[in-house]
Amino acid sequence: MVVLVTGANGQLGQSLQFVADKYPQIDFVFCDSKALDITVKVAIASVFNTIKPDFCINTAAYTAVDKAESEPDKAIAINLTGAKNLAEACKEFKTKLIHVSTDFIFDGNATTPYTEDAIPNPKSVYGQTKLDGEKAIQSILQDYFIVRTSWVYSQFGNNFMKTMLRLATERNELAVVDDQIGTPTHAVELANVLVQIILFTNKNPEINTYGIYNFSNEGACSWFDFAQKIFEVNNIKIDLKPIPSSKYPTPAYRPRYSVLDKSKIKKTFDIEIKTWEETI
């Protein structure tokens, strides 16, 4: 079974490379943006023609949330046009697509975890382009999985955890917002779940499990809580202060509440999910 992974140099792409050896039954083909630019149709056609993938995991995305506000064209090119191009290639080559999306498609006004059928209402360019990418895939394909996730971190790439650890070497005190609530997601945990979806689908072709799913680790916390746990686990002493979002303005709006309900993915694929505290 051949599985193409786009965005191989990103955080999730690297996490998939990290777990790939655990799955000898899969022939992974990892392509970074140089090997496969998903905004270019002929580049996609060339790769698909060569490797003829059974599955494609699209981890390629424009994820610079604040920067997207000032360069929306770049976000649209990757998050919308790129997703659409991949969906069209998957349709032509009968490849099953797994596309990774985000909690930013919601406005954050909820008070209970978002289910897969909650109505999206993005408040940022990033969130809007990711939602538009989802819609493009749904308009083209039937055999797709869209997996929405949140607050992704790991030992790879740029993320909140690595930023906190770096800042702790430079400062004696830090202020972190405590009024945005969500769930950290370890990218390696997400990578394993994406592969589990592939293995289940391949083993049970008669069962139609296609559609939208949520995945994050279990539990909920603020960014302040997350930072506190990071420093606790790493035995770092630092003066950590909670602050409201109003004290830390950003170009892009952040959802105040973006906890995802994982009932569907747990039930469908018989997945057990660790708490966010455990995975740190």
* Active site amino acids: 126
Tokens of 217: 């680790």
First-to-last alpha carbon distance for the chain, in angstroms, is 32
Q: Amino acid identity, residue 168?
A: A
For 223: left if phi > 0, alpha if psi spans -120 to 50, otherwise beta; the answer is alpha
Q: How would DSSP label each residue in 181-241?
A: EE--EEHHHHHHHHHHHHHHHHH-TTS---EEEE---BS-EEHHHHHHHHHHHTT---EEE
Query: 87: helix, coil or strand?
Result: helix
8 A C-beta contact, residue 18 and residue 190: no
237, amino acid identity: K
- Enter the tokens of residue 125: 């360019």
Nearest to 46 by CA among 89, 108, 1, 97: 89
Cα(190)–Cα(274) distance, rounded to whole angstroms? 11
Eight-class DSSP state of 70: T
